[in-house]
Structure 1
Amino acid sequence: MNEKKDDALGVLLQQYLETEKDVTDKQRRVLEAAVEVFSEKGFAAASTSEIAQKAGVAEGTVFKHYKTKKGLLFSILSPTILKLGAPILIRDFEKVLEAEYQHFGDFLRALIEDRLEYATKNTAAVKILVNEVSFHPELREMLKEVFNERVLPRLQKAIKHFQEKGELAKLPDSTIIRLIISTTVGYAAARLIMLPDNDWNDEEEIEMMIEFLLKGLRP
């Protein structure tokens, strides 16, 4: 697998392909090609013929393994989303959420840096997810399940801790979580999807996000 494909696939899909024993070489090539095409053109504009050509297989091979184009999309995104909830792939993020921090700013810095690093390593899969989640209720439900079961309780615990320390305003935890997510995701979207060619300074941007959130959420 060349360096370009490694970047396009992202760590999650690459690990999935390497560990799934039932994935044939042709399936692997189809999935790799589909990630690139879906990422570049979006699901609606992508064609199975183009995916097959990029994968170096006949178009019939695509339909042999994935009955529909939507089935191919879910073969890419399902492991990506579900493995976010698997211990082996959210281990580092769980460490971020479970670690003890002296101040709320330290917690924010660790959280933002971790999620930005994840999105940077998996840009192609993230782009597909952002493009398609609005059109596929199944994807939204999968995301909600992972977030509600594995992430939300830990965020709520951290928020309560810093509120009790007097570092956070007594706002509903849902409001605080929404503000943190919208700030972080907004930067990641601009950084990786909308304006990827800009000369970004992640360290400076992260510090400005933290300052913005600290001032807005101060008691």
Structure 2
Amino acid sequence: MTQSMEPWMEELLNASSSGDNMTEKQSRIFEAAIEVFAEKGYSASSTSEIAQRAGVAEGTIFRHYKTKKDLLLSIVAPAMVKLMTPFVLREFRSVLQTDFETFDGFLRAMIENRIEFLEKNQSLLRILLQELPFHEDLREQFLKIIFTQVKERIEKAIDRFKDKGQLIDLPTTTLMRLAASAIGGYIFIRTFYGTREGADWDDAKERQATIDFIMKGLAPNP
């Protein structure tokens, strides 16, 4: 297994340990499962490989988790319920609470903040991107626990810029969706292509192009 854990993994393990909910073997299984799920995806992963990485017998996994799906849910569901909402918002709060003068300044700060967060927690990002489309129960938890709270805070920020006359007169949810689509596309390509060795990718230019695209599309008519 890796020598150092990502921040979200360490916090969740510590939270579980403080409640005496996770044994030392469970912790090793937990960390190994995250690595394997992130590398190969849920469908291509096997409990035998997870057990090997964790240094336990495969039967040990099934003493703690009835199925491989239970193991996945034990990672993602608690991460969202116990940790991800406060963790995500804590990391994001500085951006959401700052009174930016311009919308492009807000966009730049938001993108830089999220890039920093995702670079520290790449395994969780990969698991969510790979598994949310195929597991309805995970999607429902994600929408209920994380998306709703983040959405409310970003809508308030967008409303401020609408009031200043910096954005086109469209519903706030529409403005958020259009901006999020462009930012999400940039982050997705950057994560899975731009960070690869030898990739033809100028991150500063791509980031600026994304901001310029959003600003031109959402600027009010002259």
What corresponds to 1:80 in structure 2? 79
What corresponds to 2:117 in structure 1? 118
Which whole-Å CA distance do the structure 1 matches of 2:33 and 2:147 have between them? 29
Aligned length: 214
Gaps (5+ residues) in structure 1?
none
Which whole-Å CA distance do the structure 1 matches of 2:61 and 2:186 have between them? 36
Contact 1:39 1:124 in 2 (8 A): yes
2:44 counterpart of 1:45: yes
- SS in structure 2 at match of 1:134: helix
Q: Which amino acid aligns with 1:100?
A: D
Q: For 1:14, which of 4, 10, 17 is the aligned residue?
A: 10
What corresponds to 2:204 in structure 1? 203
Q: Cα deviations across residues 19-69 of structure 1 (Å, max 9, x unaligned)?
A: 322221111111111111111111111110110011110001111111110
Contact 2:102 2:161 in 1 (8 A): yes
- SS in structure 1 at match of 2:133: coil
Q: Which amino acid aligns with 2:9?
A: L
Q: Which amino acid aligns with 2:132?
A: V
Contact 2:194 2:201 in 1 (8 A): no
Q: Cα deviations across residues 92-127 of structure 1 (Å, max 9, x unaligned)?
A: 312211221111111111111111111111111111
Contact 2:29 2:54 in 1 (8 A): yes
What corresponds to 2:134 in structure 1? 135
How far apart are residue 200 of structure 1 and its match? Answer: 4.1
Task: Write out aligned runs for 1:58-77 (5 A).
Answer: 58-77=57-76
Which whole-Å CA distance do the structure 1 matches of 2:172 and 2:45 have between them? 40
What corresponds to 2:23 in structure 1? 24
Gaps (5+ residues) in structure 2?
none
Q: Cα deviations across residues 55-92 of structure 1 (Å, max 9, x unaligned)?
A: 11000111111111011111111233232212x55213
Greater relative contact order (Cα < 8 A, sep 6+): 1
How far apart are residue 5 of structure 1 and its match? Answer: 4.6
Identity %: 43
Aligned Cα root-mean-square deviation (Å): 1.8
Q: Which amino acid aligns with 1:177?
A: M
What corresponds to 1:213 in structure 2? 214
TM value normalised by structure 1: 0.90
Q: Which amino acid aligns with 1:15?
A: E
Q: Which amino acid aligns with 1:207?
A: Q
Moved more, 145-154 or 179-188: 145-154
How far apart are residue 173 of structure 1 and its match? Answer: 1.4
Q: Which amino acid aligns with 2:32?
A: A
Which whole-Å CA distance do the structure 1 matches of 2:39 and 2:14 have between them? 24
TM value normalised by structure 2: 0.89
Q: 1:117/1:67 Cα in 2 relative to 1: closer, same or farther (>3 Å)?
A: same
Which whole-Å CA distance do the structure 1 matches of 2:79 and 2:149 have between them? 15
